[in-house]
Amino acid sequence: MTAIRVALDLLREAAARRWFLALGLALTGLLLLLVTSLRLEVVDGALAASRLFGKPLDHSIQAADVALRPVFLAASQFVFWGGLGFGVLSCADFGPALLSPGRIEHLLSLPVRRWELLAGTFLGVLALAMAGAVYASAGLVVVLGAKTGVWTGWPVVSAVLSAVAFGSIYAGMLAVTVWVRSAALSAAAGASLIVLGLLATHRTSLLDLMGRGPGRALFAGVTAVVPPLGKLADAAGALAASAPLAPGGLVRLLAGTLAFAGALLAIAVWRFERRDF
């Protein structure tokens, strides 16, 4: 319960930050732009014509739900990768601000357990990522649903998956912050995990290209535990576009991602419990 209180405080702090106000305004602006500039003509469930800023878009007549799939796919990739990038930059400061001298002492003097403080910070950032991703995707679903009559919840599920992927990255950022209180280092850790996540996506083919040796073993070891972000992004895209997924594939991906995040959080808590401030 205390961790939830810490998380809610983090959300209150985020609400006062320009980064998140700017994100909220930008997403709202984009959705309003779509509302005002996109015209879709649906006849008997088929998308007959569409205009963007008054200019006709070239496409064949097809079922509206089928026509919207690539739109939802593109939106899911925007939310996934854009969310990761924005999240790494905008959330890098939360941990260091929490641990800043004069603030952490005050927080630790309150009846809050150390792990609750860290868990609350993580949950707050996860809720923030979730809110941003769900707001963007649900907004798109509502706008397109109102214009075409096609209603689907899968883009929102896809957005939740994106937030979970960011959660695994943020767990690494938080763990680094517990060792060294630096927003720059936290952001660098996040960026490194994204790159490693991309490499982990192509792990098998990259390993084939590498000669035997300690470098290959290190690469194999690291990419075995880092969530393959490309595969997660593909899964998010497939969910958003209502495309088929490999049976059990998403569950395995999610389980690996959650285990990775959990392990990093456990390391962070272990260090945080022992650290002097």
Partner 1 sequence: MPAAFAVTSLHKRFRTRFGRSESVALDGLDLEVPQGEAFGLIGPNGAGKTTFIKCLLGIAHPDSGRVELLGGKPEDPRSRARVGYLPERLTLPGAWTPRALLASVARLKGLHPGRAGLDGLLQRLGLAEAGDRRIRGFSKGMRQRLGLAAALVGAPDLLVLDEPTDGVDPLGRVEIRQLLAAELARGATLFINSHLLSETERICSRIGILSHGRLVRSGPLEALTSVQQRWRVRFAPDPPTEALVALGFEPVEKGAWELAAGDAAVLNQALDGARHAGALLVELERASRDLEDVLSEALAAGAA
The DSSP secondary structure of 64-94, one letter per residue, reads HHHHHHHHHHHHHHIIIIIHHHHHHHHHTTH
Identify whether the C-beta of residue 88 lies closer than 8 Å to the C-beta of residue 191. yes
CB of 271 vs partner 1, minimal distance in Å: 13
Q: How far apart are CA 1 and CA 71, in angstroms?
A: 40
CB of 61 vs partner 1, minimal distance in Å: 52
Sites of contact with partner 1 (CB under 8 A): 2, 5-6, 9, 12-13, 16-17, 97, 100-113, 274, 276-277
Identify whether the C-beta of residue 80 lies closer than 8 Å to the C-beta of residue 234. no
CB of 67 vs partner 1, minimal distance in Å: 44
CB of 219 vs partner 1, minimal distance in Å: 29
CB of 29 vs partner 1, minimal distance in Å: 23
Identify whether the C-beta of residue 167 lies closer than 8 Å to the C-beta of residue 129. yes
CB of 17 vs partner 1, minimal distance in Å: 6
CB of 46 vs partner 1, minimal distance in Å: 50
The nearer residue to partner 1, 107 or 131, going by C-beta atoms, is 107
Q: Output the CA torsion 136→138→140→144 (10° steps).
A: 180
CB of 105 vs partner 1, minimal distance in Å: 4
Q: Where are the alpha helices (DSSP H) in the chain?
A: 2-15, 18-37, 64-77, 83-91, 94-98, 104-109, 114-148, 154-179, 183-201, 203-209, 214-225, 229-240, 249-274
- Length reported for the chain: 277
Q: How far apart are CA 243 and CA 28, in angstroms?
A: 28
The nearer residue to partner 1, 112 or 243, going by C-beta atoms, is 112
**CA-closest candidate to residue 259, choices 222, 225, 218:** 225
Identify whether the C-beta of residue 48 lies closer than 8 Å to the C-beta of residue 42. yes
Give how far Cα 263 sits from Cα of 29, 94, 134, Å. 38, 20, 26
The nearer residue to partner 1, 159 or 268, going by C-beta atoms, is 268
Q: Output the CA torsion 227→175→161→116 (10° steps).
A: 140
